[in-house]
Structure 1
């Protein structure tokens, strides 16, 4: 059976789109089975290219994932070897400073001064394809990258017109942002709300034929003002398929399709590190822990217990979006599955070797932090869709030994948000046990 659908009549070029590859170089366990891999996307690309012109576009966050925690570096060498035609710069691509475009394909950023090309013209063999890359509109909040341009709409419009003047038959915008999503009840795994994404792209939408998004882990496909807009599920779990039609020039989104769990052909240092961690069993679980609202065993609460015990703090607070291991095909953004738990499974929960911090609190600040987070994360609160950090609409994990804790353990990446939520500078003490080790120790008891 063909893994991807047949082309729409009149198709000249097929587009395969991915986002947030999570650098799942080897197949990794998820709550819904083995996840896909970049090698699996490359296999689909090769299959399609034997039949028709096909390009691979990515919406950014190319190297985020467990490899950095295992090796102490980002796997840019492995990215260079992928047959991607063009990618937008994601927020995590700026974590180590302003990124360079990898050899082999352009990394694009048209809406911020990142030293990257804003757009590219790809020769598909069936007509020129113009690609405009846009990083996340809150890139300056996620990282130390420059604030996006104030005149972004004018710039995208000018780039689109320039690409068409240079021979582009189609123009595609690739944006590192996506729809709001949250776990669903009933038959559908997730609900989505596209208002924020629509507002972001609408000012320049008439200049392009297709918008491909990313950043938020759940997939979505639809249209805004008649122009197709869509993004796949993250971490190479699915690939979004779109067909570019020749006459008249237009695009049709076919949907998201599973990526096979192919292993890479090369035995790189990163692959060996992942394999070694996957072979090392650290615990065995009788049931699965999920980051999914309503889960009987809620993974963020387990992480909170590990942080509190490792630091001796009175309490711990865990925003669930900081601890994802998978795309939410079943509404879960993270999981530790029943059975053997490996060092790789635990590493993926954090993606870092950092130790937690202990933050000193006053009065009822712990309750205030939980109330504020959960009020914003409540999917019924559409007014919170625009908050840059609020992509994971689930309750915070928590563990406490006191009604009004004087100290709370958090991961370092959470500290800026706590500071903003409480509106004051916070006194902290560093923990001495990496969080990944603290969780492995808790599970092994």
Structure 2
């Protein structure tokens, strides 16, 4: 019995000393972009294909989304399963998203709607700095530990602290928005002690993320960011912390390959994968759901609601100020 115990302890120590491989996939600011853009890239089906490809190459993969998956196309206005934007959640669930943080656009409708999105999603929305009146996280948790192979990854969620200025004030009036460092300080010791890698999943914007990195220490390894719609082909490194962002509207899937040894990143490599369309022989599990959802949308949108007496010329410069909040 003692020999078995000694072997178990030694085996555990050997595993902890060995380098562990991990692939992190990341998206942000997809804005319900279910179709390819004019350049032929993007859309949910392209995302499905490239996720499958990336996961098939590396078994230990974690997919994180840095917010604003809602608002931007008509599919986010579709009521699915009794919830506006429910079809977007369904897509991300079927594609097996591991975790997300809140973007400002998740609060576009109301607090109750944002809460319903959280409750409906099979994946966790994580938030360390948006708090309920009782002080609990507005998300499912402030952070969560994910085990991939022998690697434990702590993911801490953060959302832009100017949220009351970016949505209708009443949508967040009952909530408290903590400063970033205050929110992180509340959970970082615990998250770091329980994990091999600490990732901040942030919808704060590049400027805020880069400043935040200067205020953190070696307990934080990486920031995956959103809000600024910036695509970093090569990760930024500030104060020893890698900062990644994959652009917007599903033009790219971010991919970072890491070797982790003794709670440190021993090697790091990242790239942006252009979300080109899947080959003709690819079997999509998502396509039937999208066809049904889009078909329902088309039936609603193709109804004649009025007739203009003269031709209407669209003007892309006549937009509402809401575009400034993207």
Structure-1-length-normalised TM-score: 0.53
User: SS state of the match for residue 219, structure 1?
Assistant: coil
Using the TM superposition, give the Cα deviation of residue 124 of structure 1 relative to its aligned residue in structure 2, in angstroms: 0.7
Q: Is the 8 A contact 2:218 2:240 kept in 1?
A: no
Paired position in structure 2 for 1:67: 74
Q: Mark the CA change 1:69 to 1:211 in structure 2 (over 3 Å): closer, same or farther.
A: closer
Question: Is 1:161 aligned with 2:184?
Answer: no
Using the TM superposition, give the Cα deviation of residue 241 of structure 1 relative to its aligned residue in structure 2, in angstroms: 1.3
1:92 aligned residue (91, 97, 105)? 105
Q: Is the 8 A contact 1:109 1:134 kept in 2?
A: yes
Q: Is the 8 A contact 1:242 1:255 kept in 2?
A: yes
Structure-2-length-normalised TM-score: 0.71
Using the TM superposition, give the Cα deviation of residue 46 of structure 1 relative to its aligned residue in structure 2, in angstroms: 2.4
How many Å separate the matches in 1 of 2:189 and 2:66? 21
Q: Is the 8 A contact 2:32 2:76 kept in 1?
A: no
Using the TM superposition, give the Cα deviation of residue 20 of structure 1 relative to its aligned residue in structure 2, in angstroms: 1.4
Paired position in structure 2 for 1:29: 37
User: SS state of the match for residue 270, structure 1?
Assistant: helix
Higher mean C-alpha displacement, 256-265 vs 211-220:
256-265
What is the alpha-carbon root mean square deviation over aligned residues?
3.1
Q: Is the 8 A contact 1:88 1:108 kept in 2?
A: yes
How many Å separate the matches in 1 of 2:161 and 2:272? 24
How many Å separate the matches in 2 of 1:46 and 1:135? 28
Matched residues, number? 265
Q: Mark the CA change 1:241 to 1:278 in structure 2 (over 3 Å): closer, same or farther.
A: farther
Using the TM superposition, give the Cα deviation of residue 274 of structure 1 relative to its aligned residue in structure 2, in angstroms: 5.8
How many Å separate the matches in 1 of 2:297 and 2:257? 35
1:15 aligned residue (24, 29, 39)? 24
Using the TM superposition, give the Cα deviation of residue 259 of structure 1 relative to its aligned residue in structure 2, in angstroms: 1.4
Paired position in structure 1 for 2:11: none
Q: Is the 8 A contact 2:98 2:123 kept in 1?
A: yes
Question: Is 1:171 aligned with 2:183?
Answer: no
Q: Is the 8 A contact 1:20 1:64 kept in 2?
A: no
User: SS state of the match for residue 239, structure 1?
Assistant: strand
Using the TM superposition, give the Cα deviation of residue 175 of structure 1 relative to its aligned residue in structure 2, in angstroms: 0.3
Paired position in structure 2 for 1:46: 52
Paired position in structure 2 for 1:260: 276
How many Å separate the matches in 2 of 1:128 and 1:105? 17
1:242 aligned residue (248, 251, 256)? 256
Q: Mark the CA change 1:202 to 1:260 in structure 2 (over 3 Å): closer, same or farther.
A: same
Paired position in structure 2 for 1:230: 244
Using the TM superposition, give the Cα deviation of residue 257 of structure 1 relative to its aligned residue in structure 2, in angstroms: 1.9
Q: Deviations over 1:357-399 (max 9, x none)?
A: xxxxxxxxxxxxxxxxxxxxxxxxxxxxxxxx587xxxxxxxx
How many Å separate the matches in 1 of 2:48 and 2:91? 13
Using the TM superposition, give the Cα deviation of residue 70 of structure 1 relative to its aligned residue in structure 2, in angstroms: 6.0
Paired position in structure 1 for 2:221: 209
User: SS state of the match for residue 271, structure 2?
Assistant: strand
Matches within 5 A, 1:96-111: 96=109, 97=111, 98-99=114-115, 100-111=118-129
How many Å separate the matches in 2 of 1:216 and 1:278? 31
Using the TM superposition, give the Cα deviation of residue 50 of structure 1 relative to its aligned residue in structure 2, in angstroms: 2.7
User: SS state of the match for residue 24, structure 1?
Assistant: coil
2:96 aligned residue (68, 79, 83)? 83
Q: Is the 8 A contact 1:157 1:207 kept in 2?
A: no
How many Å separate the matches in 2 of 1:234 and 1:78? 17
Using the TM superposition, give the Cα deviation of residue 246 of structure 1 relative to its aligned residue in structure 2, in angstroms: 1.8
In structure 2, runs of 5+ residues without a counterpart are 1-18, 133-137, 279-283, 304-312
Question: Is 1:270 aligned with 2:304?
Answer: no
Question: Is 1:125 aligned with 2:143?
Answer: no
Using the TM superposition, give the Cα deviation of residue 218 of structure 1 relative to its aligned residue in structure 2, in angstroms: 2.3
Q: Mark the CA change 1:67 to 1:158 in structure 2 (over 3 Å): closer, same or farther.
A: same
Q: Deviations over 1:187-214 (max 9, x none)?
A: xxxxxxxx44311343235331111101
Q: Deviations over 1:35-84 (max 9, x none)?
A: 31233333323223333211110001122221257636313333332311
In structure 1, runs of 5+ residues without a counterpart are 1-9, 180-194, 281-298, 308-316, 323-388, 392-445
